[in-house]
């Protein structure tokens, strides 16, 4: 259940690789997790209009930010969390709003601070386009 995932330790969030797709679904197939959900209309509209779904997306975002704030390895040039960050941005844009997606991107940039130069240009381009 989603509440159990929110309660996982940061170590579990780092080690598990097939949960982020469930917290932040997209309307495109996951390359990393073939069984991950692909969200389509009318579910997209339902999520956008559901207060409960919006609260869950916000809690998932807050929990992921908490994880990233405590986990420093993602600030290196290559880390699997870079792909997760792209997914979160895309999902927030799809299921919440451009403002929410952009707030998350700005938060990421702030967390990186001087470490932003360690992130590859390719990754930063993915984030810009997400």
Per-residue pLDDT, 40: 97
Mean pLDDT calculated for residue range 31-50:
94
Per-residue pLDDT, 61: 98
Mean pLDDT calculated for residue range 115-130:
94
Per-residue pLDDT, 103: 98
Asked if pLDDT for residue 122 goes beyond 90, the answer is yes
Per-residue pLDDT, 31: 85
Q: Cβ–Cβ contacts within 10 Å for residue 98, how many?
A: 9
Contact yes or no for 84/90 (Cβ under 8 A): no
């Amino acid at each position: 259940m989603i509440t159990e995932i929110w309660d996982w330790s940061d170590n579990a969030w780092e080690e598990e690789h097939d949960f982020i797709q469930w917290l932040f679904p997209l309307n495109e197939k996951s390359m990393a997790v073939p069984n991950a959900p692909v969200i389509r209309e009318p579910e997209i509209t339902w999520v956008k209009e559901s207060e409960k779904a919006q609260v869950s997306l916000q809690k998932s975002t807050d929990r992921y930010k908490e994880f990233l704030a405590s986990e420093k390895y993602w600030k290196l040039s290559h880390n699997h969390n870079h792909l997760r960050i792209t997914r979160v941005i895309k999902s927030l844009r799809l299921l919440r709003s451009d403002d929410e997606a952009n707030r998350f991107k700005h938060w990421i940039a702030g967390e990186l601070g001087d470490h932003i130069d360690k992130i590859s240009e390719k990754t930063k381009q993915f984030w810009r386009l997400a």
